[in-house]
Amino acid sequence: MSTQEQEATQNLTLVQSVRDALATEMELDDDVLVMGEDVGKNGGVFRATEGLYDEFGENRVIDTPLAESGIIGTAVGMAAMGLKPVPEIQFSGFAYPGFDQIVSHMARLRTRSRSRYTLPMTLRMPYGGGIRAPEHHSESKEAFYTHEAGLKVVIPSTPYDTKGLLISAIRDPDPVVFMEPKLIYRAFRGDVPEGDYEVPIGEAVTRREGSDVSVFTYGAMTRPTMEAAEELAEEGIDAEVVDLRTVSPMDRESIVESFKKTGRACVVHEAPKTGGLAGEITATLQEEALLYQEAPVKRVTGYDVPYPLYALEDYYLPNAARVADGIKEAAEF
């Protein structure tokens, strides 16, 4: 890529940048292939693979039978043989028939084989609520995957990061679970370079500098969190917003660094509270920065109930008002 091409940008939605990342990497590396339900001729139910079938053909954009374990399990076999498959699970809520393949093999094959067999594969799945979907289409269960050693778990929140992180994930020598916030697939556009570039896995980014309280979040919750931070700025509370981008391995340094500056923290995720990543972040702060702590760490999360059908989902999901309430509680303690 020439510098000029690198600098050319396009204005894309998040889901378009998923597609752009796949097309970019497939163009550069013949070993990369896309597989899953409806990803081929149909271009994916969310259009994440639109046009790729025509561009790269049926052997690199593969419509598979409707079988999550088969998709993930055969991708494991392909990756062990040196291909770089990018299987798509249509909704994260349907990944569970393939859960055994994820935890028993995707996560463990490098360890089991002492690195003879490695899995350069990226398992894409849209996750999260707020799109008025039927049952099982709205959950946010990233904690299942972060609990499993051997997996990296990435959750982008902007079109730019989505492309850069997805390219990094495809190039990563280890398996990556790439969870896409479908609530914001088309919520806004952003400038995305046309060429290939990487956003490093494992690095958080500060979305808003602030001095009073640190707010840690990721994925679709980044938007209401930023909204809340801007509202609170008018009330005189200066919140720093850190977008984790990768939830495993988590960028503990950036989390601790921000907290040392503010001494106060609020963690926001749409996943249920118990066993969620907010607990991990809170524990990290306890371990690494106890003496900086000026207030209890506040968790603003989904509730510990099965994700409600959509008539009530707005009450379940953290929104700007709930996030602002949580930030205030941490800031004013």
Partner 1 sequence: MSRITTPFRPFANQYRESANRYERAFGKTGGQSTPCQFLAVFLFTVNYLRKHYQAGRTAFWYAKVGTVSTLERDPDDGMVQVLDDEGGVVGDVPDLPEEEFVAMYRHMKLARHFDERAVSLQRQGRMGTYPPLSGQEGAQIGSAMALAEDDWLVPSYREHGAAMVHGLSLKETLLYWMGDERGSLIPDDANVFTPAVPIASQIPHATGMAWADKLKGDGETDTGFLCYFGDGATSEGDFHEGLNFAGVFDTPNVFFCNNNQWAISVPRERQTASETLAQKAVAYGFEGVQIDGMDPLAVYKATTEALEKAKNPGEGERRPTLIEAVQYRFGAHTTADDPSVYREDAEVEEWKKKDPIPRLERFLRDQDVLDDERVAAVEESVREEVADAIDAAESTVRPDPESMFEHVFAEQPPELRRQAEEFARLREEYGDEAFVEE
Per CB under 8 A, the list member of 93, 130, 150, 302 interacting with partner 1 is 150
Residue 177: HSE in the Cβ half-sphere, 13 Å Cα cutoff: 33
Whether 218 contacts 269, CB under 8 Å: yes
Per CB under 8 A, the list member of 181, 202, 210, 219 interacting with partner 1 is 202
| Position 70 contacts partner 1 (CB under 8 A) | yes
Strands 32-36 and 61-63: parallel
Per CB under 8 A, the list member of 2, 3, 4, 114 interacting with partner 1 is 114
Residue closer to partner 1, measured from CB, 114 or 291: 114
Buried b (16+ CB within 10 A) or exposed e, 135-163: eebbbbbbbbbbebebbbbbbbbbbbbbb
In the complex, the smallest distance separating the C-beta of residue 102 from partner 1, rounded to whole angstroms, is 11
State in Å, rounded, how far the first CA of the chain is from the last one: 52
Residue closer to partner 1, measured from CB, 173 or 306: 173
Per CB under 8 A, the list member of 39, 250, 268, 324 interacting with partner 1 is 250
Compose the 85-104 pattern: x for residues touching partner 1 by CB under 8 A, - for all others: ------------x--xx--x
d(CA 179, CA 142): 8
- Residue in this structure with the two tokens 């209890």, named with its chain if needed: 296
Active site residue 137: yes
Q: Which of 105, 136, 137, 147 is catalytic?
A: 137
| Position 81 contacts partner 1 (CB under 8 A) | yes
Residue closer to partner 1, measured from CB, 11 or 111: 111
Bond from prior residue into 65 cis (ω within 30 degrees of 0): no
Helix 222-234 with 320-332: angle, nearest 10 deg: 60
| Position 262 contacts partner 1 (CB under 8 A) | no
| Position 206 contacts partner 1 (CB under 8 A) | no
State whether residue 82 is helix, strand or coil: coil
Residues annotated as catalytic (active site), given as ranges: 137
List of residues contacting partner 1 (CB under 8 A): 33, 59, 64-65, 67, 69-70, 72-83, 97, 100-101, 104-105, 109-118, 149-150, 152, 172-174, 202, 249-250, 252-253
